[in-house]
Amino acid sequence: MELTIISPLDMHLHLREAEMLDFVLPLTSSYFAGAVIMPNLQQPVDSKDRLTHYRERIVNQCKDHGFEPYMTLFFKPYPANFLDEIKEQIIGIKLYPAGITTQSEQGVGELKEARDTFTIMEDLNIPLLVHGESHGYVLDREEEFLQTYLWLAENFPKLHIIMEHITTRAAVEFLDKYDNISATVTLHHLLLSLDDVIGGLMKPHLFCKPVAKSPRDRDALKQVVFSGHEKVMFGSDSAPHPIHAKECAGCAAGIFTAPLALPALATLFEQEGCLEKLQLFVSDHAVNRYQLQPIKKNIQLVRKPFVIPEKYGTITPFLAGKTLPWSYA
Ligand code: NCD
Ligand code: ZN
């Protein structure tokens, strides 16, 4: 049995820089037609120079793969003339509350002070991608942040706001309240609850931000994804960290899923009896919401066992050592 996915897109991806970038990029560019590239580098991508430089590095590395890097800028207050000049080169601007996750120290402190930039983005039709967590108790952070999404959605009704990597039932319920809100969902949040991370022995390779929540939350995510909800797009949030940064005191947040995401999603959609909806989740919804014209690229999956390697270079992947029923042709 075979399955063709037309122009799969990963709407939230961390490629890092230097050798790590060179290593992980083909593990996405071979299997996807495009990906939204996160800007949280050691020096955030927040200027025209950094953006151009980063994009060129990516494009040069994957010339043969037919892959479009959809670039993002790291949110900070930007003037209108700068955004007007750069808007054709970005798919959106990624907002991190300061210090909330890996390399987000230069993120936003007081959101309402960024009002002018939101207005400019709304006028210029530049989407706002948001890491939606407050600084409250870790399990309440996403739900608390919904007030901020509400403020954004009501005050900037033409701004396309994307709730990145949602993990809660509350966020799923919020999705339908405003037309200008969409969401991405990861692979790992469809599979994990907090029990998997810390319920038994502590599993550093399952630790990410936002942390996986309750089984009830996970079931709400599954329900909305498998129903084919048109505002829900796949964003892997594949976030590689070398093993020494994961297996230590002070484990870095991030799960590496890029090379196995599509076979694992096919497995899940098949288990739920809705394999025909996979195309919507991994491409069509993003094409529609973001109005994209992705590179035409067919990815073939076959029903043949795929043993996920224990390691990719220095990185332990999600589901390491497990066997999936679907693999790349
Ligand atoms: C991401 C990373 O490592 O850059 N980590 C994560 O746990 N998801 C950052 C992020 O998207 O929060
Ligand atoms: Zn991320």
pLDDT at 65: 82
In degrees and rounded to multiples of 5, residue 238 shows phi and psi of: -60, 120
Q: What is the pLDDT of residue 109?
A: 86
For residues 262-288, average pLDDT = 98
Q: Ligand 1: list residues with CB < 6 Å.
A: 14, 40, 101-102, 131, 208-209, 237, 239, 253-254
Assess whether pLDDT exceeds 90 at residue 154. yes
Can you tell me the distance from the alpha carbon of 34 to that of 62, in angstroms, rounded to the nearest whole number? 11
Nearest CA to ligand 1 atom 11: 237
* Sole residue written with tokens 């000049």: 85
Q: In 3D, which of 228, 131, 227, 224 has the Cα closest to residue 173?
A: 224
Q: How far is the CA of 1 from the centre of ligand 2 (A)?
A: 33
Segments forming the whole domain that contains residue 154: 2-328
Mean pLDDT for 166-184 is: 98
The pLDDT score that the predictor gives to residue 132 is 97
| Residue of 10, 217, 237, 284 marked active site | 237
- Residue 146 Cα, ligand 2 centroid: separation in angstroms? 18
Which ligand is located closest to the Cα atom of residue 16? 1
Q: What is the mean pLDDT of residues 90-119?
A: 92
Q: How confident is the model at residue 192 (pLDDT cuts 50, 70, 90)?
A: very high
pLDDT of residue 253: 98
Mean pLDDT of 271-289: 98
Q: Looking at residue 54, what is its pLDDT?
A: 98
Q: Which residue's CA is the closest to the ligand 1 atom numbered 5?
A: 254
- Predicted TM-score of the model (pTM): 0.98
Residue 57: is its pLDDT beyond 90? yes
Q: Which atom of ligand 1 is nearest to the CA of 96?
A: 12
What pLDDT was estimated at residue 269? 98
How many domains is the chain partitioned into structurally?
1
For the question of residue 237 being annotated catalytic, the response is: yes
Give the largest Cα separation in the chain, rounded. Answer: 54
Ligand nearest to the CA of 212: 1
pLDDT of residue 37: 98
The CATH number of the domain where 82 resides is what? 3.20.20.140
Q: Average pLDDT of 1-10?
A: 97
Which residues are placed with Cβ below 5 angstroms of ligand 2, an ion?
237
Q: In the chain, pLDDT over 70 holds for what percent of residues?
A: 100
Atom of ligand 1 nearest to the CA of 165: 11
Per-residue model confidence as pLDDT tens digits over 156-167: 999 999 999 999
Which residue has 């994009």 as its token pair? 55
- Checking if the pLDDT of 110 tops 90, the result is no
pLDDT given for residue 255 in this prediction = 99
pLDDT class of 309 with cuts at 50, 70, 90: very high
Q: Residue 13 belongs to what H/E stretch?
A: strand 9-13
- Closest to 141 measured CA to CA, from 199, 80, 97: 97
Give tens-digit pLDDT for 213-266: 999 999 999 999 999 999 999 999 999 999 999 999 999 999 999 999 999 999
